[in-house]
Amino acid sequence: MVAGGISAPSGGGGKEFEAKVTPIVVISCLMAAVGGLMFGYDIGISGGVTSMGPFLKKFFPKVYKRTQNPGENSNYCKYDNQGLQLFTSSLYLAGLTATFLASYTTRKFGRKITMLTAGFFFIAGVVLNAAAQNLGMLIAGRILLGCGVGFANQAVPLFLSEIAPTRIRGALNISFQLMVTIGILVANLVNYGTNKMKGENGWRVSLGLAGFPALLLTVGALFVTDTPNSLIERGQLDEGKTVLKKIRGTDNIEPEFEQLVEASRKAKQIEHPFKNLLMRRNRPQLVISIALQIFQQFTGINAIMFYAPVLFDTLGFGANASLYSAIITGAVNVLSTLVSMYFVDKLGRRFLLLQAGVQMFLSQLVIAIILGLKVTDHSENLGHGWAIFVVILVCTFVSSFAWSWGPLGWLIPSETFPLETRSAGQSVTVCVNLLFTFVIAQAFLSMLCHFKFGIFLFFSAWVLIMSFFVLFLLPETKNVPIEEMTERVWKQHQLWKRFMDDDHVLDDKKYSQLEEGIYKNNENGQSSV
Ligand code: BGC
């Protein structure tokens, strides 16, 4: 899942208990959908809004002037403005900070309160944004939305993986990512519509419509119950039991209840999950998870997701065509995520990542060559045929990202960390991701101005590096149960086996025992994301 992902146990000792798909499970899935949509909408909405004339005129008059006098300034630098980039990036910085706090509130006060808090942050952020009179209000609104993202992305996936029966958890993992991509697409469609509105306030409608999912999330959080795991963790055993019966739709919950209580007890024994993470034997997973997050962002995907309309406008597309092209890339993103859901357990993670590496590299290389040859600093536009070709190349780039680094950047960390460090590992994963998302959001338009078409060479070089990383350093984890990871994955790997010094490794038997009792809580309940 994006920023958080649902840590699904990917096999092994996770027992299957009696569980029906009760109304509350359905409502939980809807909540996840809304949480994902909300995040995606926030990702997708800023690009279109920042390319709208009335918005620029009001908040960034200098940028507006530049867009009105194309011949005067370098095309590539039209949108280079730190404030404009801050409008997009501030959300991720706030999200990053809020994640730490949310990790605490989810544990201390429960998932429900944390989701409710997220809802209030979202509503406050939307109101400030839609009513913004100056840059301060605009940025404050984005910061509040970012806090909402931090809280929601912490609590919603956790809530889901605790409420949903085990058998549908894996599917939920990628469906959260799917909802994010749908949110991005909806935002692109809304921007296309509001740009055509008469008057100066289309951007207000774009930003204000985020209020709809925000309200749904808040009202939903009011009505759902907290999870049994969270109630037990906070010592409310009787209530935990009652809730478990209600959500599973059966009175036969004793075995699962006992496991939850035991898991909660054991999880409390792991005193320093973050210290654990730094131990030598956890190095491979830690290095891989951090690298995957940095690489995911350095594919350059968010240059497209955040700034596609601006980028297309830079290439001389005109406002409407720019927003229209962003819809096309948004739709490709959604469809290709579906492709990933279908193939991920069939073809494996490595195949998808390597195939996508080739496709992303070539797409970016060709885009760079075309722009290098066709877009000069002061040329008016790219020409119709070339413009269509560039959009097609952006689509081949986005599609390969969406069936590889998009969902797998989240899935792989959630399935490689052993039980004792999964929650802490997941928190680190999310934070590193948001940090580098922030970096790209804050730097892209300036980089475009300085590197010009070379920005695509820059990203393609990164794609080359990350593909070599996958080739040599990322082992295949498809269909490997968690308790067999050490033997079947790490100990077989040329480099990583050096970290699997037997004296220091919990043996697989111990893992299996831990898996029995601990995975739920360790994975979901303790400072996890
Ligand atoms: C990434 C986001 C990105 C999205 C695009 C996610 O996996 O983490 O940064 O915007 O994919 O679909």
pLDDT given at position 6: 40
> At 20, phi and psi to the nearest 5?
-100, 160
> In the prediction, which pLDDT does 173 show?
67
The tokens for 517 are 């009792």
Residue identifier of the C-alpha nearest atom 3 of ligand 1: 302
Which residue's alpha carbon is at the smallest distance from atom 6 of ligand 1?
A: 406
DSSP string, 355-406: HHHHHHHHHHHHHHHHHHHH--TT-S---HHHHHHHHHHHHHHHHHHHTTHH
Question: Of 252-256, 259-263, 483-487, 493-497, where does the model show the most confidence?
Answer: 493-497
Q: Is 300 in the pocket of ligand 1 (CB under 6 A)?
A: no
What is the chain's length? 529
What's the mean pLDDT in 248-269?
83
pLDDT digits (tens, 9 = 90+) for 406-421: 999 988 887 887 767 7
Q: What is the pTM of this model?
A: 0.85
Kindly compute the dihedral angle of the four CA atoms of residues 180, 182, 188, 192, in this order, to the nearest 10 degrees: -150
For residue 254, what is the enclosing H or E element? helix 254-269
Give me the percent of the chain exceeding a pLDDT of 70.
Answer: 88
How far is ligand 1, taken at its centre, from the CA of residue 2, in Å? Answer: 6
Nearest to 312, CA basis, from 391, 402, 396: 391
Q: Nearest-CA neighbor of 338 among 403, 394, 391, 435?
A: 403
Task: Return d(Cα 340, Cα 404) in angstroms, integer.
Answer: 7
Is residue 23's pLDDT more than 90? no
CB of 225 closer than 6 angstroms to any ligand 1 atom: no
Residue for token pair 């590193």:
432
Tally Cβ neighbours within 10 Å of residue 264: 26
Each domain of the chain, given as residue ranges in start order, spans 25-226+270-492
Position in ligand 1 atom list of the atom nearest CA 306? 10
Give CA–CA dist 524/123, Å, rounded. Answer: 27
Average pLDDT of 467-483? 89
pLDDT at residue 527 is higher than 70 = no
Residue 322 Cα distances to 186, 326, 370, 442, 501, angstroms? 16, 6, 18, 21, 55
At residue 168, the pLDDT reads: 67
Q: What is the pLDDT of residues 365-385, one digit of tens each?
A: 999 999 999 887 666 577 788
**Cβ within 8 Å of residue 268, ≥6 positions away:** none
Considering the segment(s) 25-226+270-492 as one domain, its CATH architecture is: Up-down Bundle (1.20)
pLDDT per residue as tens digits for the range 61-95: 999 998 887 666 677 898 999 999 999 999 999 99
- What is the chain's mean pLDDT, rounded? 85
Angle at 49 between CA 305 and CA 445, to 5 degrees: 55
Residue 11 pLDDT > 50, yes or no?
Answer: no
Q: Among 1, 2, 329, which residue has the most ligand 1 atoms within 8 Å of its CB, making it the best to mutate?
A: 2
Tell which one of 182, 299, 302 to mutate to probe ligand 1, the residue whose CB is within 8 A of the most ligand atoms. 302
Residue 207 above 80 pLDDT? yes
Does the C-beta of 2 come closer than 6 Å to ligand 1? yes
Residue 334 has pLDDT above 50, yes or no: yes
Asked whether 202 lines ligand 1 (CB < 6 A), one says no
Between residues 10 and 227, the one the model is more confident about: 227
Q: Which residue bears the tokens 């069936």?
A: 403
